[in-house]
Amino acid sequence: MKTQKLSVFLYVCVILIFINGIASGADRDVIVGFKKPVGPPEQALIQNHGGVIKKSFHLIPAIASRLPENKIEVLKKDPGIAYIEDDKIFKASDEYTSSWGVSHIGSNTVHDSGFNGTGVKVAVLDTGINYSHEDLNYNYKGGYDFVFNDADPFDDSTFSHGTHVAGIIAAEKNGIGVVGVAPNAEIYAIKVLDGAGFGHASWIISGIQWAVDNDMKIISMSLEGPYDESLRIASDNAYNSGLLLVAAGGNTNGGGVTYPAAYDSVIAVTATDNADKTASFSSTGHEIELAAPGVNIYSTVSGGYNFMNGTSMAAPHVAGVAALVFSSDFKDINGDGIKDNKDVRELLHYAKDLGDPGRDIIYGYGLVNARMAVLGVPGIADIELILIRTNGPADKDTQKVTLSQGDYSITIHNNNLSKIEMEVYVNGVIQKDISSRFKFNRSDDIYLDMNVGSSVFDIVFKPYGGQGSTGYVTIRGMP
């Protein structure tokens, strides 16, 4: 759809909504079930009540139709009617549906833009990886086992911890199971934890050293323990050599951040649920740098797929976003003339702010956001809003932006919301002629232009849909 002036766009949008089969407020799409097979009398009954027949079935005694709202209750009283139910909307159950965390942080939009982590080497320091898994076998590129000191870092843990982490980072986009945050990244299994999930500091240091020696870009560590000076020096040296280190903040139930996450050279990640609330098991502290999904995360395990919880699941979401950034033409954000791991780290800070404004001890800079980190950093006239439905009223989930004089392009990307209301206010008075309501029956992108004259516009975006459903609004100033 080409960008158009608001008045024209809204007219076209109404037409498109009608074409896509969303009934007006006076009609409803329903399936009418009968007590006997459908024939001319049953069809006539629908038509005599002002209905439009869409499909008559012979497999079941029913007719799909569009009926006036005020006739539905009348028809229900007819002795020949068994039931009347809405013609409900179903959607494709794909890899993104299963991988709620991957979708929640905007990874699918980045994938659609052509960034998938291609060629980025990620070292997974964990219990190993089941490299024969159908969702990992193509992206698995090798590694080493420092537990048994051999070249076979297979995941022998009873809970498939390392395999689960690897799937969050780079499960393949192959139409089966789940999809990773960076589905084309190259994953390397560095086994530093035994089958019970324990490992010596020397094993972890050996793994970090292996990652440096083998030109990894990212180290993902879903492990926790006490302070260790040797491990700190190893982490610092790896970071200074150009690697980005990401670690789980620790499952301390509100206690302090564990190591290696608490080292300055490592990104400490806390866990959140699908309502962006911090998980009860997460750690807190000034070392927390980012938050990421870590509750009910479905990913790869030996023998298939399973759910896990923990900051161990949150950290690989961040590592995956880092891989997406590395695979893009990212900016020299710190202006030192070099595009490196330090720039990627700063770009990851363009997150969805949660909790207290700015960085805080609960969420750090906020929920990691693949869209903002990869597709562009908001500037003075560039604004990114994430609309997320919680389990409360829609008014609770609104996002507000204030626009001063100028021309703006607005993009509304729906993930799985049912509706977004856009209310425009001037001096507290709603401007009904330029406010709008957008209904969705699938993932849609809506584009419109807006001119703000001498008056300041306050725009409120209100999302509707099931708990955890999301949408995104991008506002850019136009020259």
104 flagged as catalytic: no
Which of the following is catalytic: 126, 145, 155, 276?
A: 126
- Is 161 considered catalytic here? yes
Contact 348, 364 (CB under 8 A): no
**First-to-last C-alpha distance (Å) of the chain:** 21
Rounded to 10 degrees, what is the CA torsion of 259, 261, 263, 265?
150
As a whole number of angstroms, the distance between CA 223 and CA 221 comes to 6
Rounded-to-integer distance, Cα 184 and Cα 186, Å = 7
Burial (0-12, 13-18, 19+ Cβ within 10 Å), 235: buried
Handedness of CA 122, 286, 313, 252 (dihedral sign): positive
**Structure tokens that stand for 471 in this block:** 């949408």
Q: Is 126 a catalytic residue?
A: yes
Residues 6+ apart with CB under 8 A from 80: 34, 35, 36, 42, 45
Quick check: helix, strand or coil at residue 215? coil
For the range 35-40, what are the long-range contacts, defined as Cβ-Cβ under 8 Å and sequence gap of 24 or more?
Answer: 35/61, 35/79, 35/80, 35/81, 35/82, 36/61, 36/80, 37/61, 38/62, 38/63
DSSP-derived secondary structure for 260-291: TTTSTTEEEEEEE-TTSPBPTT---STTEEEE
Q: Token pair of 324, please?
A: 């997406």
Distances (CA, A) of 413 to 176, 239, 391, 398, 446: 25, 36, 21, 16, 7
Under 8 Å between Cβ of 415 and 469? yes
Cβ distance 188 to 215 under 8 Å?
A: no
Block residue for tokens 């929920």: 367
Q: What is the distance, to the nearest Å, from the Cα of residue 29 to the centroid of all Cα atoms in its chain?
A: 31
Residues 6+ apart with CB under 8 A from 244: 217, 218, 219, 267, 322, 326, 341, 344, 345
Question: What's the half-sphere exposure (Cβ side, CA atoms, 13 Å) at 176?
Answer: 7
Task: Extract the tokens encoding 237.
Answer: 């040296």
* Catalytic choice (157, 312, 328, 436): 312
Whole-angstrom Cα distance, residue 269 to residue 264? 13
Q: Of these residues, 104, 111, 133, 161, which one is catalytic?
A: 161
Rounded to whole angstroms, the Cα distance separating 75 from 289 reads: 59
Distance (Å, whole) CA 239 – CA 207: 14
Residues labelled as active-site residues:
126, 161, 312
